[in-house]
Chain A
Amino acid sequence: MDILANLATGFATALSPLNLLYCFLGVLLGTLVGVLPGLGPVATIAMLLPATFALPAESALIMLAGIYYGAQYGGSTTAILINLPGESSSVVTALDGYRMAQQGRAGAALATAAVASFFAGTVATFVVAFLAPPLAGVALKFQAPEYFSLMVLGLVASVVLAQGSLIKAAGMVTLGLLLSMVGTDVTSGIARFDFGVRELRDGLNFVVVAMGVFGVAEIVRNLETERTRQSFAATISRLLPTRDDIRRSVAPILRGTALGSALGILPGGGALLASFAAYALEKRVSPRGAEFGKGAIEGVAAPESANNAGAQTSFIPMLTLGIPSNPVMALMIGALILQGIRPGPNVMIEQPRLFWGVIVSMWIGNLFLLVLNLPLIGLWVRVLAVPYHLLFPAILVFAAVGVLSLSNATFDVHLMAAFGVLGYVFAKLDCEPAPLLLGYILGPLMEEYLLRAMTLSRGDPMIFLERPISAIMLAVALLALLAAVLPAVSRTRAKAFAE
């Protein structure tokens, strides 16, 4: 079977000393930012992107991927120990995990979370390994019209699955697409929307946009709600879960893994959606549903397995189709582009070492996390004691230096400040920044595919409906949009996010 040969390629790549080191650094850094509230994987990856430019492509992606799933681990540690979810995907873990900690069972909760995450990560690695090649195979037959429709579908899905108002998410996607039009038009060579500014001719660097709306704006938001943090740390007396804990966790872990893997693949999905959905599902199907919120171990096992599975399977559309399902994946695509690799199905064929190396590294990274995190919990708790008013100036410094190093232009630094203000204003108006970044990263490709499709059809837009695959994707996009607008569904959607 090819899979074995492919996985062997992956292991050969991921197990090279250099890549092992970057994988380790990635998960360590990921855990750290996962533990620290107010600093998430998006801002961290954006800050590190300029630094990865010097690395080989596979090492860069392995490290950045490690930050993403490492952050899921770190976020749940603080959620359980001090009821402070470091990541939004750990919010539901705090519900039962913190209760367990208060009952003196923090050790059992942490161990269950770690094992659930590791199991889910292992399964998700295989899901990626099995699903990615056939999907890439299908995508290889795509031409410009199919790609354009696929991107429309991806963006519509990210709007439908975004939190909050549908229409504002649509506005943010469109604005993201428009902002990506700034810079030189590839076809005509004409500089667009540049106001005669030399630095704008190459377009807005997406690291600048991401750092502004996710990094700087986030800091202002955190300062707004700044309060003194309680310095409580649960004492961990006994790390091992009881036999009863294990028996009760098995089914939730399996269900969480399955649900998380499925939801991760969806555009707009990923760790966050997966953990919320898994908790809601488990609460409904578990015979101990009534105990949820009072320290039920199922309420830790299910979302923890789901968020890790979802974090990993969200690499499938990114690696095979070049479609980001969440802002982290958008940054990964940015990293590929920085490396001169065109995202899409060709990555698997032209860069097998990169493709399989990243997949296998996820499993190795999960192993690192399992071994690392349980003994290091004491250290992570101490990291939490770093007060935010000392942390955020440091974050700003690294953001500013990182952005400056992109092309050694102070213009970029000022642009980041401007996007910070814009991001804060949008946040105040309940506009999520994630769809903006997705639109921004897909804009240039969408324009190119639209242009090619229209040239192919001599200007007849019917080409998108005459080609079956393209028509199906547009139909699915339309259905998803209609479904979200229908009152019955939108109510369930609101409820699902409220839980």
Chain B
Amino acid sequence: MRIRGARDLFAGLLFLAFGLAFLVLAQDYPLGSARRMGPAYFPVVLSLVLIGIGLATAVRGLLVAGPPIGDVAGKALLLVTASVVLFGLLVRGAGLGLAVAALVLAAAAASRHSRLLPTLLLGALLAAFCVLVFVKGLGLQFPALGSWLQG
């Protein structure tokens, strides 16, 4: 079968997957009855609705022609996501300053306009700003210097 509307088809499949996942997971919780709804009642109703919508969207994708999905900015997606994850991994151990700098360096690589020197400068500036404002100024409970670096 030929795919006519790839965007509809994949959106539908994604809805379907989410609907099924919630439906399966909801089996762990009491359903209750309409009169005394259990914790699974509303989620099950919603999952069924989403499964229906997902099926309809996917079928539409098979029948109705639509634009293709187009190029995926894989590199940008990977680097931006990775930079955020890196920040999360580093902030406790290495501290806020280094985590911010690492985020900036990783994220900047996603743009083809970035140059090394301005990026390093931006990273250093933002790291200093965050440490001064959030840790020293606002007194948030982030370590300026992480546990790995404190003997």
Q: Do A and B come from one complex?
A: yes
Binding site for B on A (CB under 8 A): 165, 167-168, 170-171, 174-175, 177-178, 181, 185, 187-188, 190, 192-193, 216, 219-221, 223-224, 226, 228, 387-390, 392-394, 396-397, 399-401, 404-405, 408, 410-411, 413-414, 416-417, 420-421, 424-426, 428-431, 446-447, 450-451, 454-455, 458-461
Please give, as numbers and ranges, the residues of chain B lying within 8 Å of A399 by CB-CB distance: 84
User: Knowing A167-B60, A420-B84 touch, does A393 contact B122 (C-beta < 8 A)?
Assistant: yes
Interface residues in B91-118 by Cβ distance below 8 A to A read 91-92, 96, 100, 103-104, 107-108, 110-114, 118
Do B39 and A175 touch (CB < 8 A)? no
Do B25 and A410 touch (CB < 8 A)? no
A-B contact pairs, 13 of them (CB 8 A): A168-B57, A187-B39, A188-B30, A192-B40, A223-B80, A226-B113, A393-B103, A393-B126, A405-B142, A426-B11, A426-B14, A459-B33, A459-B36
Please give, as numbers and ranges, the residues of chain A lying within 8 Å of B56 by CB-CB distance: 167
Q: What is the CA–CA distance of A393 and B43 in the complex, to the nearest angstrom?
A: 37
Interface residues in B21-61 by Cβ distance below 8 A to A read 22, 25-26, 29-30, 33-43, 46-47, 49-50, 53-54, 56-57, 60
Please give, as numbers and ranges, the residues of chain B lying within 8 Å of A224 by CB-CB distance: 71, 73, 76
| Most chain B beta carbons < 10 A, residue from A193, A396, A459 | A396
User: Knowing A171-B11, A400-B87, A420-B84 touch, does A393 contact B108 (C-beta < 8 A)?
Assistant: yes
User: Knowing A170-B53, A220-B76, A397-B100 touch, does A390 contact B22 (C-beta < 8 A)?
Assistant: no
Please give, as numbers and ranges, the residues of chain B lying within 8 Å of A393 by CB-CB distance: 83, 103-104, 107-108, 119, 122-123, 126
Please give, as numbers and ranges, the residues of chain B lying within 8 Å of A174 by CB-CB distance: 15, 19, 46, 49-50, 53
Please give, as numbers and ranges, the residues of chain A lying within 8 Å of B96 by CB-CB distance: 401
- How far is the CB of A178 from the nearest CB of chain B, in Å? 5
Please give, as numbers and ranges, the residues of chain B lying within 8 Å of A430 by CB-CB distance: 7-8, 11
- How far is the CB of B43 from the nearest CB of chain A, in Å? 5
- How far is the CB of A25 from the nearest CB of chain B, in Å? 15
Q: What is the CA–CA distance of A389 and B41 in the complex, to the nearest angstrom?
A: 47
Contact size range, B: 35 or more
Do A216 and B80 touch (CB < 8 A)? yes
User: Knowing A178-B47, A458-B35 touch, does A404 contact B91 (C-beta < 8 A)?
Assistant: yes
Please give, as numbers and ranges, the residues of chain A lying within 8 Å of B22 by CB-CB distance: 178, 181, 193
Please give, as numbers and ranges, the residues of chain B lying within 8 Å of A451 by CB-CB distance: 37, 41-42
Tell me how many residue pairs across A and B have CB atoms closer than 8 Å: 193
Q: What is the CA–CA distance of A404 and B112 in the complex, to the nearest angstrom?
A: 29
Do A389 and B80 touch (CB < 8 A)? no
Please give, as numbers and ranges, the residues of chain A lying within 8 Å of B142 by CB-CB distance: 401, 404-405, 408
**B147 on interface, CB distance cutoff 8 Å:** no
Q: What is the CA–CA distance of A461 and B33 in the complex, to the nearest angstrom?
A: 12
User: Knowing A171-B53, A420-B84 touch, does A410 contact B92 (C-beta < 8 A)?
Assistant: yes
Please give, as numbers and ranges, the residues of chain B lying within 8 Å of A188 by CB-CB distance: 30, 38-39
| Most chain B beta carbons < 10 A, residue from A168, A393, A400 | A393
Do B80 and A220 touch (CB < 8 A)? yes
Other-chain residue from A223, A416, A421, A461 in contact with B111 (beta carbon distance below 8 A): A223
Shortest 7 CB-CB contacts between residues of A and residues of B: A459-B35, A413-B88, A459-B34, A185-B39, A389-B111, A224-B73, A223-B76
Q: What is the CA–CA distance of A447 and B107 in the complex, to the nearest angstrom?
A: 39
| Most chain A beta carbons < 10 A, residue from B8, B96, B118, B119 | B8
Do B7 and A223 touch (CB < 8 A)? no
Q: What is the CA–CA distance of A488 and B12 in the complex, to the nearest angstrom?
A: 25
- How far is the CB of A81 from the nearest CB of chain B, in Å? 22
Closest chain A residue, CB of each to CB of B83: A396
Other-chain residue from B8, B37, B46, B60 in contact with A181 (beta carbon distance below 8 A): B46
